[in-house]
Structure formats: C-alpha cells, structure tokens
Amino acid sequence: MSLPISTGDWHLRGRDVETALVGPVTERIIDAAKIVRESGENGFPNWFMYRVCLAGDSVGSKDLRDWCAYYAIAHASSGGVKASVYSDELAAMAGWDALHMLMHSRPLMPYSVAATDFGVHPVTYKRLRDRIYSALHVSLHDYWVEMMIAYLQVIKREREVKN
C-alpha cells in the first residue's frame, strides 16, 4: 500500500485570486474594479452581478433585480418574443428567473409552471429566460476573468512599489 503523494502549489502565499475576490471588498478589489471599468463597460451592472452572484453580498441585490427586469422588458418588447404573447409581467418574471439561475444555478420555478401562469407556450418562456440568462452569464464570466487579471496586476504594482 502506498501513501498518497501530497500535491499543491507550494509557491502560493496566502489566498488564491478567486478566494480573495469573493471575500470582503478590499482596496485591491476596488483598484482591480477600477482597472476593469477603465478598460470599457458593456452596459451590464457587472460589479453588482459579481458581488451578488459570486461573492454573496446582498448590497445592490434589489437594484440588480430591478435592472434584470428592465433589461428583460427591453429585450422582450423589442422582438425577444412575439408581440401577441408579450407582457411586461412575462418579461420581468423571465428576468428575475434568469437572475436566480445566475445566483443559484437553478431556475426560480420550472419553466412550464411559469409559462402556464402567463398563458404562453412553455418553449416561449424558456427561450426568453434562457436568452436573458445567457447574456447575463457571458457578461459576468467576462467580468470575472477581467477582475482576476486586474487583481493580479494590482498585486504586481504593489510589489513594484515596495522594491
């Protein structure tokens, strides 16, 4: 019987980047967010999506929820669903459901139940919700990657200043 070989990153000092970014907001995180913001914004509330969905903060969750509803309404009313089945309530629910999926990796309710509640075909609701979720997910993923890179840049700059 052989003993398992210990593996790990022996050069890592302190927390890894992902763990640091989901922790409390620090000066490093603020500096990283500033770098990302200066590189360009895409119109999504990326900071709030990151802090609410990945870091588990509740600050900004109501504003994020409202933004997702408004985004869904704008998307659905401009061709996201047929005009004959469109309603603000349907769109807002799809936005909230998409945000819930982003936060918890599962829908708020089965799409067939939501579709029945709004009197639309289940595929109609699912497509709308999934398109909104996809846009949110891509934006959050891109922001997360940019935040990790920027966080490492901040650490590098701090080391350069110390030397």
Q: What is the pLDDT of residues 101-145, one digit of tens each?
A: 999 999 999 999 999 999 999 999 999 999 999 999 999 999 999
| Structural domain for 96, as ranges | 44-162
- With a pLDDT cut of 70, the percent of the chain lying above it is 91
Q: Return the higher-pLDDT residue of 92 and 3.
A: 92
Residue 53 lies in a domain: yes
**0.95 cut: is pTM over it?**
no
CA distances from 90 to 28, 32, 39, 118 (A): 40, 37, 35, 6
Number of domains observed in the structure of the chain: 1
Residue 85 lies in a domain: yes
pLDDT band at 161 (very low <50, low <70, confident <90, very high): confident
Q: Rounded to an integer, what is the distance from CA 130 to the centroid of its chain? A: 14
Residue 64 lies in a domain: yes
Residue 29 lies in a domain: no
Residues 6+ apart with CB under 8 A from 38: none
